[in-house]
Structure 1
Amino acid sequence: MAKSNVFTVAQLKSLPVGKHCDGQGLWLHKRADGGAQWTFRFQLWGRQREMGIGSFKRIGLGEARKKADWVRLQVQADIDPVKQRRLERQQSNSRDGRLESLAWEAYGTHKASLKHGGADGLWVSPLRLHLLPKLGKMPIVKIDQDDIAHALAPIWHEKPVTAKKALSRLRTVFKYARAKGFLVNRAVIEEAVILLGENKKPVRQSLSLPWSGVPALYATLSDDDPVQLALRMLILTGVRADSVNNMQLGQIEGEMWQIPPLHVKGRASNTAGFDVPLSQEALHVIALAKKQEQNGYLFPNARGGPLNKMAMRNHLVETNVAARPHGFRASLRTWLSDQTDCPFEIAEACIGHVRKGDAAIDTYNRTAYVMKRATFMTDWAAYVSGKT
């Protein structure tokens, strides 16, 4: 066995610069700048490791040997003392271990995969508004199902979609905390749902017009108002409002609209974006919109930026139309099912739904059905504009 307790306190003070072993893994590293550091070397699972014990100025020889004994016992018990010490520090009530701090850290690592890079704050909003005010200061390891249920009770039945989003964000934060080494119990989230009870309030779907009523509405939309031109483009293409609000002249290539991934739901990490075949009626709307174009935006707001996200909705409300922009996607999708022989995959592709099926099939079948979609979208445009 290696010798231990080699040095005395007096000898330590006179040691030269370098690394000196007190025995059984305890070392003192004296630096040229006058400082010195205690370390402990050990071997575990076939790996050589070194763990800092503390500064020589703050920890004397006797205390360093006691700390070395603790590390030695950990190693003998097949425990990595470096990881164990980190876990113990993280389980303390320090600010770094509180929900609010970890929530923002998790958001920081997650937002790169979000639309707009998470800059709009929509992802973190349910957490920030409904959980952090009540639980943010708590150490995450001490949060239980009662805490979560109490925080979400005011919105659980009144705002079920928001409440479920808050829980989804909390799951992400708990996973992140677990990955960092915090011994959180992720099961408390599901137990909180049991305490809150079943939510029977139906999710309200976007108001939509029956497809038979769309041509009459389309006929009322003007040729010179950016908001109404945007609504025409929305109806003709079946895309989401954000894509139309941010539509730019540079995205048009011949008879194709190339929507960048930033403005396509679920495509933030897809560099290909989404290609929309344009009918002759859609190209006509673009030609009209060019007269209003500002800073590249085909449907600009008053300051020359992208159209306000509420502009099309407000027009429908002001004209007493019982529909919302997102609902026209349902009108198109229902028309495709009722009035055409459009296959399911192509109909879903027409409204930009991303199919999540067999991974092997998705790997090899990379088509977006652009040419086949073009035929059906041309028929839809002709129907909507009253040309058939």
Structure 2
Amino acid sequence: MTRALNKLSASAVKNAKAGKHSDGGGLWFAASEQAKGKWFLRVVVHGRRREMGLGAYPAVSLKEARLEAEKWRGVVRQGQDPIKLRDKQARDAARNMHLLNDIALDAFETRKAELKGDGKAGRWFSPLELHVLPKLGKVPVTDIDQRDIRDTLAPIWHEKASTAQKAMDRLGICLRHAAALGLDVDLQATLKAKALLGQQRHKTQNVPALHWHDVPAFYQSLTDGTVSELALRLLILTAVRSAPLRFLHLDQIDGDTWTIPAEAMKGRKDSTSDFRVPLSTEAQAVIEQAKPFARDGFLFAGVRRGVISDATMSKYMDRRGMKERPHGFRSSFRDWAAEATNATHEVAETCMGHVVGGKVERAYRRTDFLEQRRIIMERWCSLLVSTSDNILIGKF
């Protein structure tokens, strides 16, 4: 029986003439020229003759071909079609070889529509890009487990707690995306990784901010008329975030109102309305002073291209020896509105660009309090430019 199955020898295969040569048991060698050819297996499945290739010679040796042939004969003995089974295994292997890098990019693409500015600022993807993909990007997503995630995020788990948490959350989204694609992933991997990493020690700290009593003196010190100073002045006057201010385009200005596109506003995902910012007399004056620096319609153009960077105003304050950050002026304004005015909570929060109330409440309340906010911002302007130490508390 052994000789009936193993008719060929290594030497006979190597020197075989062109044509088909049987090794027995359905295994054949099709020689094309000396020392070259292909292996194939003939089997009968469900009354139908099937031929399946087993590889080329000499890459697949006689011994390897015999082992492969026996494996597939066993499949036939179980009543299965070996060609169909092999194709299915190949499809499964290909499906499960998706790398995390590819899954992450695909997950990002599907979520762009719900991200501010279609995610162009990169804040959704950057935690993955900076802290996860360099280590796990080339790993098949089906191979990733809690130990991989723990080892990847451990260096920043306590030192950069907020960033690490964002990276963990994004990775969880990627795993759920992979599962939706039909991949066999561990959806509990991030939860298990958190258990391995433990409670984070880092405590969130508020952005350092000047007390509102000290803001006028700082504002009045911005006298050089540089782009950085003009941007800071308008940031303080309007209490907006830095991103909409940096990307302020002149066509967004209409007289004494600046309209920020809805997609540029943070924290307003469920709102499709643009946000109107009332411009005080001082704010309008600052815009006029900045216009000579405008380029391509952007009021605060960068030195070489685009607009000023996110760090431009922070670095200016660093050079002044200040620990406070530009974003802190929003807190200064909000504290002033709470302590020195009678503005309602809804009006004061709307000044900050915050969405106030639930969906039902907002559905009935259509106003954005523009005229009330215009009075408040003019009062804030008066405080900033005043040289008097008397801070009057008044009604709006």
Alignment TM-score, normalising by the size of structure 1: 0.73
1:297 positional shift: 2.2
Distance 1:187 1:366, change over 3 A: farther
Match of 1:107, as an amino acid?
A: F
CA-to-aligned-CA distance 1:205-256 (integer Å, 9 cap, x gap)? 2221011100000011126322111110000000011111111221111211
1:137 positional shift: 3.1
Structure-1 residue corresponding to 2:213: 212
1:366 positional shift: 3.5
Contact 1:91 1:182 in 2 (8 A): no
Structure-1 residue corresponding to 2:394: none
Contact 2:96 2:183 in 1 (8 A): no
1:153 positional shift: 0.7
Contact 1:249 1:296 in 2 (8 A): yes
Matched, 1:384 2:368: no
Structure-1 residue corresponding to 2:365: 365
Distance 1:342 1:89, change over 3 A: farther
1:96 positional shift: 4.5
CA distance in 2, matches of 1:157, 1:273: 38
1:353 positional shift: 1.6
Length, aligned pairs only: 314
Structure-1 residue corresponding to 2:186: 185
Q: Which moved more, 1:88-97 or 1:198-207?
A: 88-97
CA distance in 1, matches of 2:184, 2:366: 42
CA distance in 2, matches of 1:386, 1:111: 45
Contact 1:261 1:269 in 2 (8 A): no
1:380 positional shift: 1.1
Match of 1:301, as an amino acid?
A: G
CA distance in 1, matches of 2:97, 2:366: 44
Match of 1:292, as an amino acid?
A: F
Structure-1 residue corresponding to 2:160: 159
Where does the alignment leave 5 or more consecutive residues of structure 2 unmatched?
Answer: 1-49, 54-74, 392-396
1:184 positional shift: 2.6
Matched, 1:226 2:227: yes
1:197 positional shift: 0.9
CA distance in 2, matches of 1:363, 1:177: 37
Matched, 1:137 2:138: yes
1:267 positional shift: 4.6
CA distance in 1, matches of 2:267, 2:92: 36
1:290 positional shift: 2.4
1:180 positional shift: 1.4
Contact 1:293 1:300 in 2 (8 A): yes
Off by >4 Å, runs of 4+ in structure 1: 56-59, 65-68, 88-91, 93-96, 267-271
Match of 1:365, as an amino acid?
A: R
CA distance in 1, matches of 2:130, 2:224: 42
State the identity as a percent. 38
Structure-1 residue corresponding to 2:304: 303
Distance 1:295 1:89, change over 3 A: same
CA distance in 1, matches of 2:233, 2:91: 55
Secondary structure (helix, strand or coil) at the match of 1:290 reads helix
Q: What is the Cα-based RMSD across aligned positions, in Å?
A: 3.0
Secondary structure (helix, strand or coil) at the match of 2:293 reads coil
Distance 1:210 1:143, change over 3 A: same
Contact 2:97 2:141 in 1 (8 A): no
Correspondence 1:6-17 to 2 at 5 A: none
